[in-house]
Amino acid sequence: MLVDQFRSLPDEALAALLRMRPDLVVPVPSDLSALALRAQSRMSIARVLDGFDRFTLEILDAARLSRGQSDGTTSLEAIFTLTAAVDREAVRAAVDRLRARFVLYGPEIALSVATGVEEVSSPYPAGLGRPAALLDAGAAELVADPARLRRTVLAAPPPARAVLDRLAAGPPVGTLAGGGEAGSPVRWLVDNALLVPVPSGGFELPREVGLLLRRDTGPLGTLHAAPPKIDASVREPKLVDSAGAGQAMDAVRHTETLLLALEAEPAAVLRSGGIGVRELRRLARAAGLDDGTAATLLEAAYAAGLAGEAEAHTAPVGRPAPESQVLPTSRFDAWRASSIARRWTDLAAAWLTMTRQPGLVGQRDERDRPITVLAPEVERSGAPAARRAVLAILGDQPPGTAPSADELLARLDWAAPRRTRGREDAYREVLTEAAVLGVTGLGALTAPGRALLADDAAELGHDERAAADPLGMRAEGNRAPDDPPTAVKVLDALLPAPVDHFLLQADLSVVVPGPPEPELSAELEVVAEPESAGGASVYRVTPEAVRHALDTGYAADDLHRLFRRRSRTPVPQALTYLIDDVARRHGGLRVGGAGSYLRSEDEALVAEVLADRRLAGLGLRKLAPTVLVTPMPSARLLQDLREAGYAPVPEDATGATVRGRVKARRAPARGTGLARLGGGGTVDAIAGVQLTQPRLLGIVEQIRRGDAAARTARRAPAAVRPGNGSGPVAVQTHTQALAVLQQAIRDKALVWVGYVDAHGSTTSRLVRPVSIGAGYLRAEDERTEMLHTFALHRISAAVLD
pLDDT recorded at residue 787: 81
For residues 50 and 118, give the distance between their C-alpha atoms in angstroms, rounded to a whole number.
14
Dump pLDDT digits (tens) for 277-324.
Answer: 999 999 999 989 999 999 999 999 999 999 998 877 555 444 555 578
Secondary structure percentages of the chain, helix, strand, coil, to 5:
50, 15, 35
What is the mean pLDDT of the segment spanning 171-182?
70
Q: Please say if the pLDDT value at position 736 is more than 60.
A: yes
Q: Does the pLDDT at position 408 exceed 80?
A: yes
- Mean predicted confidence (pLDDT) in 695-713: 82
SS3 state of residue 779: strand
Q: Which of 21-30, 587-596, 601-610 has the lowest mean pLDDT?
A: 587-596
The pLDDT, as a whole number, for residue 466 is 47
pLDDT at residue 435, as a whole number: 95
Q: Is the pLDDT of residue 164 over 60?
A: yes
Please answer whether residues 657 and 587 qualify as being in contact, where contact means their C-beta atoms are separated by less than 8 angstroms. yes
Contacts of residue 28, defined as CB under 8 A and 6 or more positions apart, other chains included, come to 699, 702, 703, 793
Which helix H or strand E contains 746, and what residues bound it? helix 734-747
Exposure string over 393-410, b if 16+ CB within 10 A, otherwise e? bbbebebbbbbeeebbbb
Packed helices 518-527 and 556-566: angle between N→C axes, nearest 10 degrees: 130
CA distance 249 to 371: 29
Burial 631-659 (b: 16+ CB within 10 A, else e): ebebebbbebbeeeebbbbbbeeeeeeee
Find the helix packing angle between 405-415 and 424-437, rounded to 10°. 130
The continuous run of DSSP H or E covering 286 comes out as helix 277-287
Calculate the alpha carbon distances from 716 to 711, 732, 735 in Å.
9, 11, 16
Strand order in the sheet with 762-773: 786-791, 776-781, 762-773, 751-756, 795-800
% of the chain residues with pLDDT over 90: 38
Q: What is the mean pLDDT of the chain?
A: 83
pLDDT in tens, 467-519: 444 444 444 445 555 578 899 999 989 988 888 899 999 899 999 888 888 88
Other residues' Cβ atoms within 10 Å of the Cβ of residue 155: 12
Which pLDDT band holds residue 715 (cuts at 50, 70, 90)? low
Q: Roughly what angle, to the nearest 10 degrees, separates helices 54-65 and 88-100?
A: 90
- The predicted model gives 382-407 an average pLDDT of 92
Contact 311, 650 (CB under 8 A): no
Which pLDDT belongs to residue 388? 92
Q: What is the chain's length?
A: 801
Q: In terms of pLDDT, which residue wins out, 660 or 197?
A: 197
| Closest to 778 in 3D by CA, of 467, 770, 106 | 770
Percent share of the chain, pLDDT over 70:
87
**Per-residue pLDDT for 184 more than 80?**
yes
- The per-residue pLDDT for 2 is 86
Confidence band of 17 (pLDDT split at 50, 70, 90): very high
When pLDDT is averaged across residues 110-125 and rounded to a whole number, the result is 90
Between helices 447-468 and 486-494, what is the axis angle to 10°? 160
Contact 426, 436 (CB under 8 A): no
pLDDT at 684: 44
* Crossing angle of the two packed helices 291-303 and 424-437, in degrees rounded to 10: 80
Q: Distance (Å, rounded) from C-alpha 183 to C-alpha 178? A: 10
Whether 702 has a pLDDT exceeding 70, the answer reads yes
* pLDDT at residue 321, rounded to an integer: 52
* Span 153-164, average pLDDT: 91
Over residues 324-367, the pLDDT tens digits come to 889 999 899 889 888 899 999 999 999 999 999 999 998 888 88
Asked if 725 and 757 count as a contact pair (C-beta separation under 8 A), the reply is no
Q: Which residues contact 602 (CB under 8 A, 6 or more apart)?
A: 588, 626
User: Is residue 411 predicted with pLDDT exceeding 90?
Assistant: yes
Give yes or no for residue 77 having a pLDDT over 90.
yes
pLDDT surpasses 80 at 230: yes
pTM of model > 0.85: no
Write down the pLDDT at residue 90.
Answer: 94
pLDDT value of residue 243: 93
Q: Where are the alpha helices (DSSP H) in 599-718?
A: 603-611, 634-643, 693-715
pLDDT value for 258: 94
